[in-house]
Each structure stands twice: as structure tokens, then as C-alpha cells.
Amino acid sequence: MNKTIFFTLVFFFISYTVKGQTYSLRGEVLNEKAEPLSSVAAVLLNANDSTLLYFSVTGAAGIYELNNIKKGSYLLQISLLGYRTFYKHIDIPLQPGEFHGPVILEPVVFSIDEVTISGERIPLRIRQDTIEYDARAYKVKPDAVAEDIIRKLPGIEVDRAGNIKALGEDVENVLVDGKEFFGSDPKVATKNLPADAIERVQLYDRPTDESQFTGIDDGERNPTLNLVLDDESKQGLFGDVSAGGGSDKSYQANAKLYRFTGKTQLAALGMTNNVNQYGFSVNDYINFSGGLNEFSSGGHILPESGGSFPVNFGQPVTGRGSGGAAGLNFSVSNADNDRFFISYLGNGSKRKTIETSLTKNYIPGGEFTENSNRELIKTDTAHRFNFGLRKKSGEKQNLILNGGLSFNSSDYPLTALSQRFTGNSLMNELERISDEGISGLSGNGDLSYLLKIKEGKTILGVSAKVEYSGNDSRLDFVNRTSFFNPAQEETVSQFLDIDESAANYSGSLSLTQKIAKSSFLDFVLSASYGDENMVRRQGNNIGEMSVNPALSPDFYKISRVLNPGIKLKFLSSESSLTLSLLSALGEYKSVLNNDPGVTQRYGYLNPGLSWEYSYRSGRRIMADYTSGVSTPSVIQLLPVVNNLNPLTLFYGNRQLKPEYFHNARISWWLFDQFSFTTLLSSLNLRYTINNTGYSRTVNEDLRQTMTLTNTGADFAAGMLIDFSTAVRPLAVKINLVLDNSYNRSISLINGRMNVNNTNTNRISFTVGNRNKEKWDLEAGTEITFTSTRYSVNNELNNRYHDYSFFSEARFSPGRKLSFLVSSDITRYSAGSFGQSLFIPLLNTETSLYLSKNQRAAFTLAAIDLFNRNTGVERLSEFNTLTDRRSNILGRYFMISFRYRLNKTGDSGNGVDIQVKSR
């Protein structure tokens, strides 16, 4: 392993450092009064196609400096908004005695008859609140998507899963021509929109819809990327189609069609494959599988449920299967502030998963292990609609409507075997065969209305929201349970039907009043009503079906909450401060089989604080504190046993109290636009009172009973330092991340309190070249250290670490060829898991572009050349350690053909300056 890593590192760092002799260019930029100009973009462009090669920004003294320049001819471009752009052809190195003196920029006051500039490309403009990039100034491969351009933009980083960070902050909003694109999922745009349709990329902090309408800064900011399309893309239909096939009967096909005008947007996406691609983005995967609620403490709490989902967060997608997806997005704007949009995303898949796991359970006096094997074939379908309306009536009224509707269904037959051991002695065994089908319908809608009673001083806000979800499930299962000390065996064949529904209705009223020049007082009142119902029928399905009344409850929960409060805001050009004092006055009542019910009432004060201070350009301190209340779900309250796994019985608890949580965060953010150095540091704290956890009882034959209970206080903390900068002598950019998380949780084991302390430290380092004209290189490593300590049997405390290394090299020698090689090396240490693992992955891709303007392309891809891909997951939670292995898509080769529609002419990246004589 060490040799592999060593030679891979040598390969990349040789490519970084062996560059031959390089040179520097330094200059000064002044205005017409000979005063220094700051924030001026000084770039060296390729003299042939005007793509950006070297970049710098002037500081307060008006000085720019370009370093590590290769010998050659360039076009120097110096630009600042409001001034005439300066151009000069320069040969590097400068000749002896040649001097590049100060550049004086002239304000744009010329007559159109004197100078005509056509096709001018200014790679980057810095405005007061917006950084604007010229997309055509950054060279990408002919069939690139928006994400490929974004990766090259100074000040913006994209990780391997496609998550975007701009100036140190996460970007969760991506617009196309200023409009929503497929709802709120940014990666649908960045991973699918063709790069050659984008003219400019704008980065700015987007105020909320309410703030934009009222003109009152509410202190909330959303880092946003806006992809501005070129005029050619708004003249007709464009997109691409592709299809491919390969070894092991692998196949894939995709189609993307777009039609944009000044008022409308229409996009259609389609895909099908059997190489574990189930949607158009990571968020699409999550929604496709029913959302992250599958990981919450709600849901069915089925011990063997097939709730795993095909999501790739930069890790392999487990299982093997085929799937397809389709999407449609439409929006229309009749005026600047009147817009309607609707989108649809649909998915379908069939996936086979084979999984083995080893779990160590720590109990008073010792430990026991559990070996499990599962095999399931899961079939899913999902359909989701999202829509919205923005309607401005005159200058004083604004209406905002958002909504969604989704339908999901799934079916997964399962076979499973689990065995529990004390030492080498087999204590019990469970063999299970089941088939489960689920269908669900959910929807939501929220409407808000704003009225300017007095411009800039008094604002009235009214909102209403409705949420509904309903699920029907049918489970047939056969459990064969065996005990070996003494010998005993039992077989149970049963059915389980569950009908669940949940509805929540809420509304709020707010009044904002200006009380001073930059101070506002908000009066807020909100209320909500919730209704959750569960009808469960369980019984024998051998011979004549019969319902077991003890296992077949009718159970529902009703909740009411009233939240009055006030907010005080102080705003200035450098800072914003919001102080809030809200209250939560509520109750929830659970009713079992029409009994009198159990009612829990609560009252909490929820203070809050949000402070942001920009003490210099690119320097920001932020602090916020929030508190709130979370009530238990209907499944957490249900006191009837869940015996689907007879070796582990689950009980809810009607006496659960609501969790009262406090979150605090302080962060310091720095971005230097001259050196493109970014530093983000933060400290997060979370404290939960009445935390919901498990009381666990394990008897002599290792049968368990788990009951939900309020375990006391839970504490979590995290610290993050994220630093990136350019190392100019090496012509590379580096990124260093130090991430620490700590959690203290409590569980009860056989009546004894177990305090579980888990500390995780992650260190990652990434390096990549800056000049990506032909070579685009990146390599990185990550080490994660995990320490787990238990108050029960502290001799079982455990430490382990995981190590990973990746590298990626793309070489584009011209417009006809592109080569890509990527590698991933992961090592899992043994620790308490018994063995270490070493997983090397290697992928290659070669593309050949054909026809005029590279409209057609053949691509040959080789995935997992070593055939070593393995699905591994290691978890430490409560008083258990789990090592889980899953089957995964292995080595395959595929050749595919892609054809782009409506690709015309050269991109016109060149700069043509014509000067007319008078």
C-alpha cells in the first residue's frame, strides 16, 4: 500500500513542480487622476482564443502581480466596471530594457462612433455585492456541464460529490437566468445543464423574497449562483443524447432537452441504466427513497426493513440494480416580479443487495456479538411535483406560494439470518423470510402574503401552511427462532398491515415596525395543529387468517402549539443583530383503542440571537443561538410491542416528554480576493434536555427488549477549520480541513446508566494545479480517527482510524481528445473490528470528439480496473460497534456515443477591437 501511495504522490507532484523556467509580471493601475485603483482584474489571456491563463487582482495600492508565467505571447487585459478595458500584446519574458509601466484606465465616456468592441471577454468583474465570471473565458472539454465550469472559477470550490462552496460558504441555491430550476435541488442544474450554453456565472448573497419586496434587510443571506445563458441558447432547442453499452451486459442512455426564452424555461431530462445511477443528483436520490426521515427515530422501526437507499455522498452506492428517471421543468415570467414554475421528477429502480454485518454489543459484565446476513431485492417508484407562484400586486402587496406533491411505492422481498454469540458459543438464531409492499402519498403547500402598510416602516405578514402524508404497508413474514441453551425452536408466520396518516396545519401573523433609523421590532404569533393516526393489524396467516387484538392497536396523537414572541433587529451596512424571545406553549395527547388518553403539556421560552459583523471586505464574524422544542412522533409513543424481530422487542412510551434543545454557533470567515485565500472556522454546540433514547434489557439467552425513554441530557460539539490558498511558486492550490466532533449520549442497559462518549477527528488535505489549460490535476488524502468510551465496561473502549487517498488527472491535448484517470485508495484499520481492509480503485476514461464543433463524441470508460470495489460501513452508536459489508457494482467497461443538439459555430472567445478614425 505504501508503495502505491508513494508512487502516485510522486506522479502528481512531479507534474506540479517540473514546469521549466517561469517568469513574473508586475504592474500598477491608476485612474485618470493618477490615483491607485483597487479590485481591478489583471489577466493574461491566450492570444489565440482569449481563454484565461493567469489571473490577479489589484490591492489598495493598485498593484497586481502575475507569477509563474510560461514563456510565450499573451494578451494582457486589465478591466474594472465603469472603465474602458485595457489590452496589450505582451511577450514573456520581457526583452532587456523593456518596461511595462503603469496603466491608466479611462472612464467610459467615449462616443459609439469612435470605438466599437465586439466579443469582449472580461474573465471576472467585481461589483459591490456580486462577482461575475465570464464562462467563455474558462476552457472546458466540449461536452462539459455547468459543474465543470464552476470548478475552474476563482474563489469557488466543488467537492467530489458536487457540493459547491463559494468564498468559504456552502451554496444551496443555483438559479438559471435568475429563476428556480427543478425546485430547490441545485445539482440538477450543475450536473445536467451544458456548459456551452452558459455565458456568465454570477455569485452573490441573495436576500429572502420577503426582504427583496419590503426593502427591509432581515439579516438572512443565501449564497447563490446564477447561471446566465447566452442569447444563442434562447433561440431554439438544445441539449444532448447519449447511449452506451459494455461488459457484463452494462448499459446506459440519457437525453437532455432545453428550450429557453426571455420569459419561459422548459427542460426535459431522461435516463436509464444498470450501473447504479438512480437519479439526476444526490438530493434526487434522497427524495427518491422517501427522504432522510428513514434515518430518524420515527418510521416503522422494523429491525430488518429494507430502508437503505442508493445515495452516493462521495462513497460507493451499494447493491446492484437498474433504474430510470425522468424530469420536466417549466417556468413562465410575465413581469419581473410575476412568475409561475412547476417541475416533475420521477424515478424507478430494481436493486439487489446482499449484506453481512458484525455487531459487538457491550453490556454489564461483558459483551456479545451478532452476525447477520441479509439479501433483498427492492423495487421502487417515485413521482414528485413541485410548484410555486410569485405575484406582486402593485408596489404594496406581494404573494408567495410554494407547494409539492409526491407518490412513492416500493416492494422488497427479504431473506435474513442473524446469530448471537457469547464468546464462541452460539446462543440463539433467527431466520426470516418476508415480503413488504409500501405505497405513500404526501403533499404540502405554504402561502404567504405581505402588505406594506407604510413604505419602509410598517409591514404586515400573513402565512399559512398545510402538510399531509399517508402510507399503507403490507408485510408477510415467517420467523424461525432457535435457542441453544437449552435447545428450543419456534416458527411464526404472520401478516402486518399498517395504515398511517399525518396532517399538520399552521399559520402565522407578523407585524414589523420601524422604531429608529435602522432598528425594527417584530411582533410574531404562530399556531399549529397536528393529527397523526396509526391503524395496525397483525395476526397469523397460516390457514384461516386471524387478527391478534393485543398486537393490533388503533392509535393516534393530537398536538396543539401556540408560539407568541417578539424580535428586535438592529441593522447597519457592516452588521446585523437580531434578538428574539419566542415561547412554545403546547400539548399532545395520545389515545390507544379509544381509552381516555394520556396528555403531556409543556411550556418553554425559546430565546434566540443572530449576529453578523463584516469588519472588512472579505472578513466576517458570525454568531447565532437558537432553541426549540421537538415532540415525539406517534410511533415513538405507541406502547404496543413491535415483535417483528422476536430476539429484539421494541416498545414506545406514552410518557415521553418533549426534547428541549439549544444550538449555538460562532464562526469566523475570511476571504482574500487578491490571493484567493479562504479561511472558515466555526465552533458548534448542541445541548438537549429530555433526550429520547433507549432503555435496553438483555437476558441470559441474549434476547433484548428496547423501550424508548427520556435518558437525560445529550451534548454534542464540533469544531471546523477549512483553509485554502494558492501556492504560487508551485502553481498549485491547496485545501486543508480539520474537523472534530464530540458526542456524549446516555442509554440504559439492564437498569444501569451507560455514558457513551464518541470523539471523531478528520483531517483532509487536497492539492490541485491552477493552470488547467491542458492538465487538470487534483490529489488528496483524508484520515479519520474515532475514539469511543463506555462507562459500562470501560475495558471495551475502542479506537480505530480510516485512511483514504484519491487522485484525478484529466489531460486535453486539443479539441479532439480528452483523457481522465482517477484513483481511490481506502484503508480501514482493524481496531475492535478484527481485521483491516485495503481497497484500491482505478477508473479511466478516453473521449474522442468528432464532426464540426465537436458535436459528436465516443467515450471508452473502464471502471474499477482492479475489481476491488467493496461496500464497507463502520458505525459506533449507543453501546454497539458495527462493521457492515454490502455487494457493489464491480469492474466493467463501456463505450458510449454522445451527440449534442443545436451546437453552432465557434464560441467566439476571441477579442476583436476596432478603432475608427474620425
Per-residue DSSP letters for 451-480? EEEETTTEEEEEEEEEEEEEEEEEEEEEEE
Q: What is the length of the chain? A: 918
CA atoms within 13 A on the CB side of 636: 21
C-alpha–C-alpha distance, residues 843 and 862, integer Å: 6
Q: What is the pLDDT of residue 897?
A: 95
DSSP single-letter state for residue 211: H
Q: What is the pLDDT of residue 160?
A: 65
C-alpha–C-alpha distance, residues 729 and 405, integer Å: 54
User: Phi and psi of 545, rounded to 5°?
Assistant: -65, 140
Nearest to 732 by CA among 767, 781, 765, 690: 767
C-alpha–C-alpha distance, residues 350 and 711, integer Å: 40
> With bands split at pLDDT 50, 70 and 90, how would you rate the model's confidence at 263?
confident
Average the pLDDT over 521-538 and give the result: 95
Average the pLDDT over 254-273 and give the result: 88
Q: What is the pLDDT of residue 527?
A: 97
Residues 6+ apart with CB under 8 A from 303: 644, 645, 648, 650
Query: What is the Rg, in whole angstroms, of the alpha carbon atoms belonging to the chain?
Result: 30
Q: Are strands 575-592 and 798-811 parallel, antiparallel or unpaired?
A: unpaired
Q: Which residues of 763-796 are buried (b: 16+ CB within 10 A; e: fewer)?
A: ebebbbbbbbeeebbbbbbbebbbbbebebbeeb
Residue 297 has pLDDT above 50, yes or no: no
Percent of all residues in the chain with a pLDDT value above 70, rounded to a whole number: 83
156-189 per-position pLDDT tens digit: 777 766 778 776 567 878 888 888 777 666 777 8
Average the pLDDT over 378-397 and give the result: 86
> With bands split at pLDDT 50, 70 and 90, how would you rate the model's confidence at 796?
low
Is the peptide bond prior to 486 cis by the omega test (within 30 degrees of 0)?
yes
Average the pLDDT over 67-78 and give the result: 84
Cβ atoms within 10 Å, residue 369: 17
Q: What is the pLDDT of residue 183?
A: 64
Q: What is the pLDDT of residue 662?
A: 96
Average the pLDDT over 570-583 and give the result: 89
C-alpha–C-alpha distance, residues 516 and 531, integer Å: 43
Please work out, in degrees rounded to the nearest 5, the angle formed at the alpha carbon of residue 400 by the alpha carbons of 398 and 403: 170
> With bands split at pLDDT 50, 70 and 90, how would you rate the model's confidence at 289?
very low
Query: In the structure grid, which three cell numbers stand for residue 660, read together?
Result: 428541549
Q: CA torsion, points 571, 574, 576, 577, in degrees to nearest 10?
A: -100
Residue 906 has pLDDT above 50, yes or no: no
673-726 per-position pLDDT tens digit: 666 677 888 899 999 999 999 898 988 888 899 999 999 899 999 998 888 888
CA dist 267 → 103, 230, 239, 342, 651 (Å): 46, 16, 9, 11, 48
Residue 313 has pLDDT above 90, yes or no: no
415-443 per-position pLDDT tens digit: 999 999 988 889 999 999 999 999 999 99
325-369 per-position pLDDT tens digit: 998 989 888 766 688 889 898 889 898 999 999 888 877 777 888
Q: What is the pLDDT of residue 712?
A: 87
Place of cell 445543464: 193
Please work out, in degrees rounded to the nearest 5, the angle formed at the alpha carbon of residue 299 by the alpha carbons of 297 and 301: 75
Secondary structure of residue 212 in the 3-state scheme: helix
Residue 296 has pLDDT above 70, yes or no: no
> With bands split at pLDDT 50, 70 and 90, how would you rate the model's confidence at 128?
low
Residue 607 has pLDDT above 60, yes or no: yes
C-alpha–C-alpha distance, residues 688 and 745, integer Å: 10
Residue 730 has pLDDT above 50, yes or no: yes
Average the pLDDT over 842-859 and give the result: 88
> With bands split at pLDDT 50, 70 and 90, how would you rate the model's confidence at 773?
confident
Average pLDDT, the chain: 81
C-alpha–C-alpha distance, residues 180 and 398, integer Å: 18
Q: What is the pLDDT of residue 12?
A: 45
Q: Is 15 exposed, middle or buried (0-12, 13-18, 19+ CB in 10 A)?
A: middle
> With bands split at pLDDT 50, 70 and 90, how would you rate the model's confidence at 918?
very low
Nearest to 915 by CA among 120, 121, 117: 117
Query: In the structure grid, which three cell numbers stand for residue 600, read together?
Result: 403531556
Average the pLDDT over 762-778 and give the result: 84
> With bands split at pLDDT 50, 70 and 90, how would you rate the model's confidence at 750?
confident
Which of 248-257, 273-282, 332-341 is most confident? Answer: 248-257
Q: What is the pLDDT of residue 304?
A: 36
